[in-house]
């Protein structure tokens, strides 16, 4: 635990908060007699803490940006992939408590597990040290080191861009449909395609249906622009 505290730059008064943040539900279920709580409740709180701190950061730092651009940048900053990158830098996977099955299935490197654990750690710091401590941590490991392309408002909403492109001609109809999914329930990958006048013009995949649709639109744009 001390090694992780050094990496995040925060020392806990109540080590129990950090212990809970690192406890995956699979481990808690296998040790029910010990009365352990998983990090799921902390993840819920951490998601809101992260969202608020990020929104405040963008609002104050970009006074001329409209709501739509702020929303897109925030989504890019707090997405699962972004949090996974934070977890990798902190080597968070080595500190997680996982059940035997999750351990054997590669849970220490699973994107969704690591992203959730990052949010749980944010919540743990918030509960232990307050809002400023949590904000300082989020800035230190995410906001202040975010790639420039992530911070730029021109990061595209591919579905909107594709819609605007095809509307330059009359009677153009875009539709999206899910064509498949794979993986376990806790780490599914969705596959989507976008159709222009019933003809497939792009395919994409992602860890949510919305992400899959965005990737399908991105593929279509790369061929049409």
Catalytic residue among 30, 40, 47, 80: 47
Catalytic residue among 43, 102, 119, 193: 119
At what angle are helices 131-141 and 111-129 packed, to 10 degrees? 140
**Token pair recorded at residue 70:** 């702020």
Note if 47 is an active site residue: yes
Note whether 207 and 222 are within 8 A (CB).
Answer: no
Note if 69 is an active site residue: no
Please report the DSSP string for the chain in residue order: -HHHHHHHT---SSHHHHHHHTB-HHHHHHTGGGT---SHHHHHHHHHHHHHHHHHHHHHH-TT--HHHHHHHHHHHSSHHHHHHHHHHHTGGGG-B--HHHHHTTGGG-HHHHHHHHHHHHHHHHHHH-HHHHHHHHHHHTGGG--HHHHSTT---HHHHHHHHHTTSTT--EEEEEEEEES-GGG-EEEEEEEETTEEEEEEEESSHHHHHHHHHHHHHHHH-
Query: What dihedral do alpha carbons 145, 147, 148, 151 form, nearest 10°?
Result: -80
Annotated catalytic sites, by residue? 47, 119
């Amino acid at each position: 635990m001390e090694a992780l505290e050094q990496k995040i730059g925060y020392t806990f008064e109540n080590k129990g908060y950090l212990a809970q943040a690192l406890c995956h539900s699979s481990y808690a279920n296998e040790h029910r007699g010990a009365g352990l709580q998983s990090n799921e409740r902390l993840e819920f709180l951490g998601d809101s803490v992260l969202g608020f701190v990020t929104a405040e950061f963008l609002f104050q730092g970009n006074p001329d940006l409209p709501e739509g651009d702020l929303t897109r940048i925030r989504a890019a900053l707090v997405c699962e992939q972004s949090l996974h990158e934070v977890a990798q830098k902190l080597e968070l996977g080595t500190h997680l408590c996982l059940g035997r099955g999750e351990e054997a299935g590669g849970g220490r490197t699973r994107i969704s597990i690591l992203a959730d654990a990052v949010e749980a750690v944010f919540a743990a710091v918030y509960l232990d040290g307050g809002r400023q401590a949590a904000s300082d941590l989020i800035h230190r490991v995410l906001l202040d080191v975010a790639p420039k392309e992530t911070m730029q408002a021109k990061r595209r909403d591919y579905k909107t861009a594709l819609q605007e492109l095809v509307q330059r001609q009359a009677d153009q109809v875009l539709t999206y449909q899910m064509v498949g999914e794979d993986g376990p329930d806790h780490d599914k990958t969705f596959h989507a395609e976008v159709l222009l006048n019933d003809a497939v013009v792009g395919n994409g995949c992602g860890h949510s249906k919305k992400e899959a649709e965005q990737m399908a639109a991105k593929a279509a744009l790369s061929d049409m622009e």
